[in-house]
Amino acid sequence: MDFLTDGSITTPDGFLAGTAASGIKDASLDVALVYSQQPCQAAAVFTRNQVVAAPVIIDRQTLADNKNSIHAVTVNSGNANACTGAQGLENATRVQEATAAVLDCQADEVLVLSTGVIGVQMPMEKVIAGINQAAQNMSTESGPWAAEAIMTTDTRPKYAAVRIELADGPITIGGIAKGAGMIHPNMATLLGVHTTDADIEAELLQACLRTAVDQSYNRISVDGDTSTNDTILLMANGNSGVKVGDEQSITLFQEALNSLTRYLAQQVVRDGEGASKFVEITVAGAEDDLAAHTIANTIATSALVKTAFAGSDANWGRILAAAGRAGVPFDQYKTALWAGKKQSRELHLLDNGTPTRYQEADAAAIFAEPEFKILFELQQGDGTSTVWTSDLTHEYVSINADYRS
Amino acid sequence: MDFLTDGSITTPDGFLAGTAASGIKDASLDVALVYSQQPCQAAAVFTRNQVVAAPVIIDRQTLADNKNSIHAVTVNSGNANACTGAQGLENATRVQEATAAVLDCQADEVLVLSTGVIGVQMPMEKVIAGINQAAQNMSTESGPWAAEAIMTTDTRPKYAAVRIELADGPITIGGIAKGAGMIHPNMATLLGVHTTDADIEAELLQACLRTAVDQSYNRISVDGDTSTNDTILLMANGNSGVKVGDEQSITLFQEALNSLTRYLAQQVVRDGEGASKFVEITVAGAEDDLAAHTIANTIATSALVKTAFAGSDANWGRILAAAGRAGVPFDQYKTALWAGKKQSRELHLLDNGTPTRYQEADAAAIFAEPEFKILFELQQGDGTSTVWTSDLTHEYVSINADYRS
């Protein structure tokens, strides 16, 4: 597998991207188009929030009708088109129509993604002018710019691609993602657009995307909040002429997609709002994987755990306390806790529910690292789960206290 | 009902309190004794965390054996005696024994409460010296000092009492509480000790306490984290000679207890770690009260909602987004949102899922207040719930990043 850190959604054959600074937000890029002349098979995972933005409602309907013939995706940042009522649905439809007009396809062959402020109607004149402008500068080099155009409080664009060799030839998968705030595991968190030139049916594509999301975007946490707009897309235009359908090709495709989405998801955590640390939390020995995941998530979203991380404080009691309120029964006198810089089993902190005779300085040294690992063991079974999280810093508060001002 | 803001656990007849600065933490008070020569009926609500501190384990056993004959409570701050294994259980038992020795009662007539750092063994010499010292200065005036001795990151002691007239005469209920961090609703959060000179059976006392806790301490949130030590106690020594047993007396007793616990719980939110705002959140029109409560809690614990409060930002879209991820189904196009300084229905922000034409300056003025109210309506049924929460500030991060250093 070739992992291309400078690759993106325009690396797979037949995909173009264009961008514009339409004025929805300041002077920065805020509209991105992703286009394939060949119609695409399309798959998507959406937010599970009860309150969903207009684009999510429109995209669900569009994919229900037309998942075998998607030509384009229009993404805007700066305005989420969420909590905008009937007007918001009409505006999302107008984005489809404007995109279809300029790209010479049907409105129901266009998907729409939005991210930004909630509860404000979209400035449609600007948005439509931006779509027209972006269509003029589309190219096979513009994927990274599209990654920049979908940013909100992100500090850097997130993009990558992977290339694998199947029996019938090479295929490429590319992706862009944005995150920063409202990031929480077990949901289709954030916006991610992925493309591939593989030839693969929509149903299979959907299954592969679901599996990949469960191992990547659903295992990260910045702040425990789930957005109204979260959408992960994957489009396959078949341009490589290489079919993904037999067991071996599916396995290789899945591995490559997992690798790409995990990389992008981890980039989202590393660039989480105010994040100064990247912490891997593994729960092992739980009754099953779901139990392990529930505990790992609860630790990863605890404000007290994350502020301790921010302070480089090896206050591991908070990890135990968070684990204990996850709603999963376990015997505290059978638990163990480990921490490490490279490997999680470097320093044994807790054994059978009792603190070991570790040196505080050794623990402090690990928690002072910009990246480290935590392992919590239950001695209940074989269930295991790993999640990635950031710390909760002063900067997180600053960003979110002042977001709209 | 006479509400006594300068009353406390020593206001009911027959209760004494004593305190000591034993050196568990710095030079401040860190040990409190509460004592009744008359044996007490006792009731308690404990944390639902799977990881529980040694005192919680000991108290559950003590109350199972002996809820009709409790004489004393020993509380220490500075060390939680949590995640301390077998040694921790032994130390909690030694606290019982030392208290019983100095107060001339049985060890299993003593309850033990601890709060502070997790994962460190108790400095038993200091603790026992503190118990002996506190026993020497016990008085009927020392309730407020006991409230101070149980503080951790609290900035002020929390105490009050209520006096009511029953058909057979007056009775008094007093309480002290501490909170600050690891505060989360739907659990017996924080430490609270309540006393009354009413004559009331332990089973009835327990039912009254459970009802009161569900309407007070279980409706507050500072940071969504639930402690390993949370305990709310209520002791009745019968010294007034006034029986609580018939329907009228129970109703009046319950109302008085509700009033006291709600006051103390709100004090905990007002003094939450780093809190600069006190926000009342009501969810109405839900399918039932539980659904309303689940949504209200999710809003009250959202990091994004609470940082918006900190920034005086009327970013109400985050309230909708938090409500939507509570796991309770509702139709977003039937929701309404209101805000106000004195009454929740002062400013209509959202109607049938669509922003109203309110003035941003009016919304900003409400969110800039140190206290305000939010009302979220669902049009689904008659379920309603009110919770109280604080904002998430820079100071919260400072306090928790540096707690142990």
With cut-offs at 50, 70 and 90, classify the pLDDT of residue B304.
confident
Tokens coding A231: 């959408």
- Given a cut of 70, whether residue A127 has pLDDT beyond it is yes
Residues in A closer than 8 angstroms to B367, CB to CB, are none
* Chain A residue at shortest CA distance from B313: A401
- Looking at 1.10.1200.10, 3.60.15.10, 3.60.70.12, 3.40.50.11890, the CATH number of the domain B2-270 comes to 3.60.70.12
Tokens coding B127: 């603790």
Most confident of A149-158, B64-73, B213-222: B64-73
* Chain A residue at shortest CA distance from B186: A325
Q: What is the predicted pLDDT for the residue at A186? A: 32
What is the distance of C-alpha B323 from the center of its chain? Answer: 24
Single out the residue of B147, B165, B164 nearest to residue B156, CA to CA: B147
Is B402 close to A313, i.e. CB distance below 8 A? Answer: yes
* Chain B residue at shortest CA distance from A48: B325
- Given a cut of 80, whether residue B251 has pLDDT beyond it is yes
Is B350 close to A117, i.e. CB distance below 8 A? Answer: no
Query: How confident is the prediction for chain B on average, in pLDDT?
Result: 91
Tokens coding B388: 């109280």
Do the first three CATH levels of A2-270 and A278-401 match, i.e. the same topology?
no
Cα separation, B273 vs B269, in Å, equals 9
Q: What is the predicted pLDDT for the residue at A311? A: 86
Among the partner-chain residues A225, A307, A330, the one whose CB lies closest to the CB of B322 is: A225
* Chain A residue at shortest CA distance from B318: A118
Cα separation, B148 vs A330, in Å, equals 35
Per-residue pLDDT reduced to its tens digit, A208-264: 999 999 889 888 865 555 678 889 999 999 999 999 999 999 999 999 999 999 999
How near does any CA of chain B get to the CA of A256, in Å?
A: 31
Is A315 close to B187, i.e. CB distance below 8 A? Answer: no
The residue with greater pLDDT, B242 or A392, is B242
Tell me the mean pLDDT in the region B251-273: 91
Among the partner-chain residues A313, A330, A350, the one whose CB lies closest to the CB of B405 is: A313
Cα separation, B181 vs A318, in Å, equals 11
Beta-sheet strands, E only, within B47-144: 70-79, 110-117
Per-residue pLDDT reduced to its tens digit, A300-352: 988 888 888 988 888 898 899 889 988 899 999 999 999 999 999 999 999 99
Cα separation, B347 vs A404, in Å, equals 20
Q: What is the predicted pLDDT for the residue at A184? A: 45
Is A332 close to B51, i.e. CB distance below 8 A? Answer: yes
Annotate A107-118 with b (16+ C-beta within 10 A) or e (fewer): bbbbbbbbbbbb
Tell me the mean pLDDT in the region B348-357: 93
Q: What is the predicted pLDDT for the residue at B184? A: 45
Cα separation, A137 vs A149, in Å, equals 14
Q: What is the predicted pLDDT for the residue at B186? A: 31
Annotate B209-228 with b (16+ C-beta within 10 A) or e (fewer): bbebbbbbbbbbbbbbbbbb
* Chain A residue at shortest CA distance from B116: A317
- Given a cut of 50, whether residue B189 has pLDDT beyond it is no
**Could you tell me the pTM of the whole model?**
0.80
- Given a cut of 80, whether residue B171 has pLDDT beyond it is yes
Q: What is the predicted pLDDT for the residue at B13? A: 97
Q: What is the predicted pLDDT for the residue at B118? A: 84
Q: What is the predicted pLDDT for the residue at A75? A: 97
Among the partner-chain residues B51, B324, B396, the one whose CB lies closest to the CB of A51 is: B324
Residues in B closer than 8 angstroms to A396, CB to CB, are 303, 307, 397
Contact A179, A229 (CB under 8 A): no
Per DSSP bridges, beta strands A278-286 and A354-355 are unpaired
Per-residue pLDDT reduced to its tens digit, B36-47: 999 999 999 998
The residue with greater pLDDT, B161 or B224, is B161
> Which distant-in-sequence residues (6+ apart) come within 8 Å of B42 by Cβ?
B63, B67, B68, B70, B111, B202, B205, B233, B234, B235, B236
With cut-offs at 50, 70 and 90, classify the pLDDT of residue B405.
very low
Residues in A closer than 8 angstroms to B355, CB to CB, are 83-85, 119-121
Percent of chain A with pLDDT over 70: 95
Most confident of B30-34, B218-222, B327-331: B30-34
- Annotated active-site residue A384? The verdict is no
Among the partner-chain residues B52, B223, B404, the one whose CB lies closest to the CB of A303 is: B223
Residues in B closer than 8 angstroms to A332, CB to CB, are 50-52, 83
How near does any CA of chain A get to the CA of B69, in Å?
A: 30
Contact B81, B55 (CB under 8 A): yes
Q: What is the predicted pLDDT for the residue at A185? A: 34
- Given a cut of 70, whether residue A404 has pLDDT beyond it is no
Beta-carbon neighbour count of residue B352 at 10 Å? 14
Residue type, A268: V
Cα separation, A279 vs A296, in Å, equals 12
Per-residue pLDDT reduced to its tens digit, A39-82: 999 999 998 888 889 999 999 999 999 999 999 999 999 999 99
Domain ranges of chain A: 2-270, 278-401
Q: Which of A11, A74, A99, A189 is catalytic?
A: A189
CB pairs under 8 A between A and B: 222
Contact A99, A113 (CB under 8 A): no
Tell me the mean pLDDT in the region A370-382: 96
Q: What is the predicted pLDDT for the residue at A342? A: 93
Please give the positions of B annotated as active site. Answer: 189
What is the distance of C-alpha A52 from the center of its chain? Answer: 17
Percent of chain B with pLDDT over 70: 94
Tell me the mean pLDDT in the region A183-205: 78
Contact A320, A281 (CB under 8 A): no
Of the residues A79, A276, A332, A393, the best mutation for testing chain B's interface (the one with the most B CB atoms within 10 Å of its CB) is A332
Q: What is the predicted pLDDT for the residue at B404? A: 54
With cut-offs at 50, 70 and 90, classify the pLDDT of residue B185.
very low
How near does any CA of chain B get to the CA of A121, in Å?
A: 9
Residues in A closer than 8 angstroms to B304, CB to CB, are 181-182, 223, 225, 400
Single out the residue of A38, A17, A13 nearest to residue A150, CA to CA: A17
Single out the residue of A230, A222, A227 nearest to residue B321, CA to CA: A227
The architecture (CATH level 2) of B278-401 comes to Roll (3.10)
Query: H helices of A302-376, where?
Result: 303-310, 317-324, 360-367
Tell me the mean pLDDT in the region A128-135: 98
* DSSP structural state of residue B178: E
Is A394 close to B398, i.e. CB distance below 8 A? Answer: yes
> Which distant-in-sequence residues (6+ apart) come within 8 Å of A350 by Cβ?
A316, A320, A335, A336, A337, A356, B83, B119
Contact B84, B121 (CB under 8 A): yes
Among the partner-chain residues B228, B302, B333, the one whose CB lies closest to the CB of A225 is: B302
Compute and round to an integer the Cα radius of gyration of chain B. Answer: 22
Beta-carbon neighbour count of residue B196 at 10 Å? 35
- Given a cut of 70, whether residue A181 has pLDDT beyond it is no
Per DSSP bridges, beta strands B191-196 and B231-236 are parallel
- The crossing angle, in degrees rounded to 10, of helices A317-324 and A289-301 is 130
Q: What is the predicted pLDDT for the residue at A386? A: 93
Contact A149, A114 (CB under 8 A): no
Q: What angle do CA B216, B222, B228 make, to 5 degrees?
A: 80
What is the distance of C-alpha B171 from the center of its chain? Answer: 22
Among the partner-chain residues B83, B184, B303, the one whose CB lies closest to the CB of A320 is: B83
Is B321 close to A82, i.e. CB distance below 8 A? Answer: yes
Cα separation, A40 vs A56, in Å, equals 19
